[in-house]
Amino acid sequence: MAKELLSVQPYKGTRDFYPEDMDLRNWFFGVIKDTLRKFNYREYDGPTLESYDLYAAKSGEEIVNEQTYHFQDNGGRMLAVRPEMTPTVARMVAAKLGSLNMPLRWFSIPNLYRYEKPQRGRLREHWQVNVDMFGSDSIETDFELLLVASSLLKAFNADETMYCIKINNRRFYNDLFEQYMGFDKEKSRKVSKAIDKKGKMSQEAFCEYLAEIGLNGEEIEKLNSFFEKSFEEMMELCPESKGTIELKSLFKLIEEAGMSNICEFDFSIIRGFDYYTGTVFEVYDKDINNNRAMFGGGRYDNLINLFVDKANVSGIGFGFGDVTLENFLVSHNLVPELKSGMPKVLVTRFPEVPYIEYLKIAELLRQNGIAATVYTDEKKLSKQMKYAADEKYDFAIILGGDELAAGTVVVKDLSKGENETVSREDLVNKIKI
Amino acid sequence: MAKELLSVQPYKGTRDFYPEDMDLRNWFFGVIKDTLRKFNYREYDGPTLESYDLYAAKSGEEIVNEQTYHFQDNGGRMLAVRPEMTPTVARMVAAKLGSLNMPLRWFSIPNLYRYEKPQRGRLREHWQVNVDMFGSDSIETDFELLLVASSLLKAFNADETMYCIKINNRRFYNDLFEQYMGFDKEKSRKVSKAIDKKGKMSQEAFCEYLAEIGLNGEEIEKLNSFFEKSFEEMMELCPESKGTIELKSLFKLIEEAGMSNICEFDFSIIRGFDYYTGTVFEVYDKDINNNRAMFGGGRYDNLINLFVDKANVSGIGFGFGDVTLENFLVSHNLVPELKSGMPKVLVTRFPEVPYIEYLKIAELLRQNGIAATVYTDEKKLSKQMKYAADEKYDFAIILGGDELAAGTVVVKDLSKGENETVSREDLVNKIKI
């Protein structure tokens, strides 16, 4: 009977993390966690499955309708496999509003799912670092998030030639559209969607698109001129806007902190989600082969109100994906050779020595902070040694009948290829050095 | 207009991990990872969504049909939200059979989903530590898994009065059913399912159930006698069985290693999954209020064959859930007070001092391995101090106009309630001590 074999491939757009892949992931999540903890951000997590309503209420439409995996459970509840973390964190903050000390500094590294065509840097499952502050709407808070974003990249030894932060403000451009351009809310919304897609189309296509959504020639010309103007010129267009005041204060802090060389105003930074209300920003890789947004974020002041009426707890945060970060680190040659903190030892075995003797040696080593394994099969010593070398063990221990009688073991240093006979008492020190 | 508010509750049977919960989870996953790395087990991970076929092929029927969340993607693929990790790891091993050095020692801590009625210790989403070895079928390997399971509990300072490992062997009981009892394969299967459920029913109900699946009075009496017999008496019933030989070798190793006081033969240990082929075991909490299986595992020698014809790579592994472990640790009072490794500092602020001065202090502290945050809002010092105390900061830094002129700062030790004025140069040393 021919047997139908199962596929060994993971589901399209998802990844298997073999130990080498996992070492890399653990290393870079470790660097991120250490850095965020130095800023007193605390880790949280939420469920992978959430009520579908959570996303329908607040995200941009595209995400919910086309890209979110969703299904009904047997009890008739519509569930989503989380496509982003912000709704979850907003829900969690809302649930404990009375007992949380504001401001909150929180982070999480969830895996997220989106149903989309897999391509470079875009997978169906990826891990996303989410960094958020709740309960403070000062401009110093907006600045802190930029500083944290920059500090994360610096923690990987990225320097300022490798990345830049592009900043805009949703209050500013809403006021610019409504007060200066005279658009109504609906037209403003359509125009901001158009600008969000601008990077992915030609200038000609962009103008055609603007015409399609109802802008006349003069409006299109005016809108295009925004991308040519300096920061100061732009600020002059809408001087009374709260967004203008925020942008000016933010760039003043950026200058004082010596971050002007990595931060720039960019009117094309819009961010897809509808929930942003103030500062929005993206961190760009400056490598010409990978010139794309890595981090994106902004201020969202009304999200908690979806759960608690008139809560008025402001929020600001950013996120970035593991694939994007990995592409950045690899293209800038920032991935070091990864080393485990502990020496790895293989205790080899011979049939004539009681197995318990090997177990004792391994246990002694582990109690002294050394990773130790006893070879479990009865194979020739050469096979056991090959295994130790292939698996990148640092040392192998050899204990035959003679050594057992003499109270010694042979320690083979696999990187140097040297053997040394030591007493059982000296074994730990020999390996620790 | 009355606004419909969203629920703040997570989906039924799932949990939110607030920072305190996450600290606990990170602590106990940290202990587990350290212990497994000392045995040279390496971490891997796989996708949360897998092809539904993966589970249909090998698990017990109950799991797949009733308890697995599954749905179709837009491309018509039937997906499952992973209910267990073993099929994923078998798939991953099968995919790289040619390039992996056997034996493999692997672990993972995935979140798993099962659609079931939430109850104590059983949630719809939980995290499960999975520990597996592939490519070695020696009895020393079976023993290693028992040793690792026991070492994990000892790493949490559990002692041998708190847990025990109950062991059986599927080859042994299959042979016992088929050769000694004369059951056919189908009847054996039904009887093993009955025994698996034995713990949850009265002796009377168990006997009735056995009668229902076709056992006569004599067979029922014989079967019941197995639970009264000693290990040696049981081994005599089927002396030629490979399972008998394995059990005897395993218990010899257990005795030599001094683990007889925590390991016992228990014929009622069956394990629900159909894929087990040899040793099966469960680790039990001995607390009478929580007397249940915490870990379960066993040998599965044919799983890789589902992917690669005649691969014949044996496997053995066990898993345990975070909820079960937490119940164990709490009931035995094994959760210590958790402390962060770094001192936490809040840099307070006054409006008259340039904000950049505070940023500089925080940056200096972070560069010296101290977690530091600048208060971002303009609030009274008393409010800032209350925040530092509520959020369990270790120190607060005060820098007013006078201190700025003098090149000093005031360091407030929040645990002692003491203030000390130090020079900017001495700040780091003051806090590190």
Note the pLDDT tens digit of each residue in B137-152: 999 999 999 999 999 9
Mean pLDDT (chain B) is 93
Contact B140 A376 (CB under 8 A): yes
Measured between beta carbons, which residues in chain B are less than 8 angstroms from residue A77?
A: 11-12
Contacts of A395 by beta carbon, 8 Å cutoff, 6+ apart: A343, A344, A345, A346, A411, A412, A413, A414, A431
Does residue A338 sit at the B interface (CB-CB below 8 Å)?
A: no
Question: Considering chain A, what percentage of its residues have pLDDT values greater than 70?
Answer: 97
Give the nearest chain A residue to B259 (CA atoms): A356
Q: Give yes or no for a contact between A270 and A206, defined as CB atoms under 8 angstroms apart.
A: no
- What amino acid occupies position A93? V
For residue B192, the surrounding DSSP H or E stretch is helix B185-197
Does A2 have pLDDT greater than 70? no
Locate B227 and state its tokens: 């639970």
This model of the complex carries an ipTM of 0.94
Does residue A154 sit at the B interface (CB-CB below 8 Å)?
A: no
Measured between beta carbons, which residues in chain B are less than 8 angstroms from residue A92?
A: 8, 16, 18
Does residue A260 sit at the B interface (CB-CB below 8 Å)?
A: no
User: Nearest Cβ partner of A111 from B8, B48, B147?
Assistant: B48
Contact A138 B256 (CB under 8 A): no
Kindly report the number of other CB atoms within 10 A of residue B249's CB atom: 15
Contacts of A54 by beta carbon, 8 Å cutoff, 6+ apart: A80, A87, A88, A91, B6
Domain B19-331 identical in fold to domain B344-432: no
Locate B22 and state its tokens: 């996450």
DSSP state of A181: S
What CA–CA distance (Å, rounded) separates A115 from A69?
6
Give the nearest chain A residue to B90 (CA atoms): A8
Tokens 């090149």 belong to residue = B407
Question: Considering chain A, what percentage of its residues have pLDDT values greater than 90?
Answer: 85
DSSP state of B122: B
Please give the C-alpha separations between residue A354 and each of A349, A399, B372, in angstroms, as whole numbers: 9, 10, 55
Among A55-59, A135-139, B64-68, the range scoring the smallest mean pLDDT is A55-59
Measured between beta carbons, which residues in chain B are less than 8 angstroms from residue A54?
A: 6
User: In which band, very low, low, confident or very high, does the pLDDT at B290 lie, cut at 50, 70 and 90?
Assistant: confident
Does A121 have pLDDT greater than 80? no
Distance from CA of B181 to the nearest CA of A (A): 30
Does residue B328 sit at the A interface (CB-CB below 8 Å)?
A: no
Give the nearest chain A residue to B340 (CA atoms): A37
3-state secondary structure B359-371: HHHHHHHHHCCCE
Residue B170, φ and ψ in degrees, nearest 5: -70, -35
Sketch the domain layout of chain B as residue ranges.
19-331, 344-432
What CA–CA distance (Å, rounded) separates A28 from A124?
21
Contact B37 A371 (CB under 8 A): yes
Does residue A307 sit at the B interface (CB-CB below 8 Å)?
A: yes
Q: Give yes or no for a contact between B24 and B335, defined as CB atoms under 8 angstroms apart.
A: yes
Give the nearest chain B residue to A95 (CA atoms): B8
Best of B4, B14, B16, B67 to mutate (most A CBs within 10 Å, chain A): B16
Distance from CA of B222 to the nearest CA of A (A): 37
Contacts of B127 by beta carbon, 8 Å cutoff, 6+ apart: B25, B29, B109, B110, B111, B112, B321, B322
- Summarised one tens digit per residue, pLDDT across range B171-190 is 999 999 999 999 998 899 88
Q: Give yes or no for a contact between A279 and A210, defined as CB atoms under 8 angstroms apart.
A: no
What is the four-CA torsion angle of A4, A8, A14, A20, rounded to 10 degrees?
170
- Summarised one tens digit per residue, pLDDT across range B9-43 is 999 999 999 999 999 999 999 999 999 999 999 99
Q: Which A residues, 174 through 203, put their C-beta within 8 Å of a C-beta on chain B?
A: none
- What amino acid occupies position A242? K
Q: Which residues of A32-58 are buried (b: 16+ CB within 10 A; e: fewer)?
A: bbebbbbbbbbbbbbbbbbbbbbbbbb
Class of residue B401 by CB neighbours under 10 A (exposed 0-12, middle 13-18, buried 19+)? exposed
CATH of A19-331, one of 3.65.10.10, 1.10.760.10, 3.30.930.10, 3.30.950.10: 3.30.930.10
Q: How far apart are the first and last CA of chain A?
A: 58
Strand ranges (E), B240-358: 263-265, 279-285, 293-300, 315-321, 344-347
- Architecture per CATH, domain B344-432, reads as 3-Layer(aba) Sandwich (3.40)
Does residue B10 sit at the A interface (CB-CB below 8 Å)?
A: yes
Order of strands, sheet of A70-72, starting from the edge strand that comes earlier in the sequence: A49-51, A78-81, A70-72
What CA–CA distance (Å, rounded) separates A217 from B129?
63
Measured between beta carbons, which residues in chain A are less than 8 angstroms from residue B252?
A: none
> Which of these, A107, A26, A82, lies nearest to B19 by C-alpha position?
A107
Measured between beta carbons, which residues in chain B are less than 8 angstroms from residue A39?
A: 366, 371-373
> Which of these, A41, A38, A64, lies nearest to A51 by C-alpha position?
A64
Chains A, B: CB contacts within 8 A come to 262
- Summarised one tens digit per residue, pLDDT across range A187-210 is 998 898 899 888 888 999 999 999
Please give the C-alpha separations between residue A430 and each of A361, A426, B38, B412, in angstroms, as whole numbers: 13, 6, 18, 46
Locate A11 and state its tokens: 């589901």
Indicate the pTM of the whole model: 0.94
Q: Give yes or no for a contact between A39 and B371, defined as CB atoms under 8 angstroms apart.
A: yes
> Which of these, A151, A332, A379, lies nearest to B359 by C-alpha position?
A151
Q: Give yes or no for a contact between B113 and B81, defined as CB atoms under 8 angstroms apart.
A: yes
DSSP state letters, A52-87 = THHHHTTS-HHIIIII--EEE-TTS-EEEE-S-SHH
User: Nearest Cβ partner of A46 from B10, B50, B342?
Assistant: B10
Measured between beta carbons, which residues in chain A are less than 8 angstroms from residue B47?
A: 10-11, 14-16, 125
Residue A310 or residue A36, greater confidence: A36
Q: Give yes or no for a contact between B36 and A22, defined as CB atoms under 8 angstroms apart.
A: no
Distance from CA of B7 to the nearest CA of A (A): 6
**Is the sign of the CA dihedral B94, B95, B100, B105 positive or negative?**
negative
- Summarised one tens digit per residue, pLDDT across range A163-191 is 999 999 999 999 999 999 999 988 998 89
Best of B9, B11, B112, B356 to mutate (most A CBs within 10 Å, chain A): B11
Mean pLDDT (chain A) is 93
Does A59 have pLDDT greater than 70? no
Contact B42 A19 (CB under 8 A): yes
Question: Considering chain B, what percentage of its residues have pLDDT values greater than 70?
Answer: 97
Does residue A126 sit at the B interface (CB-CB below 8 Å)?
A: no
- What amino acid occupies position A380? K
Q: What's the average model confidence in pLDDT over B189-207?
A: 89
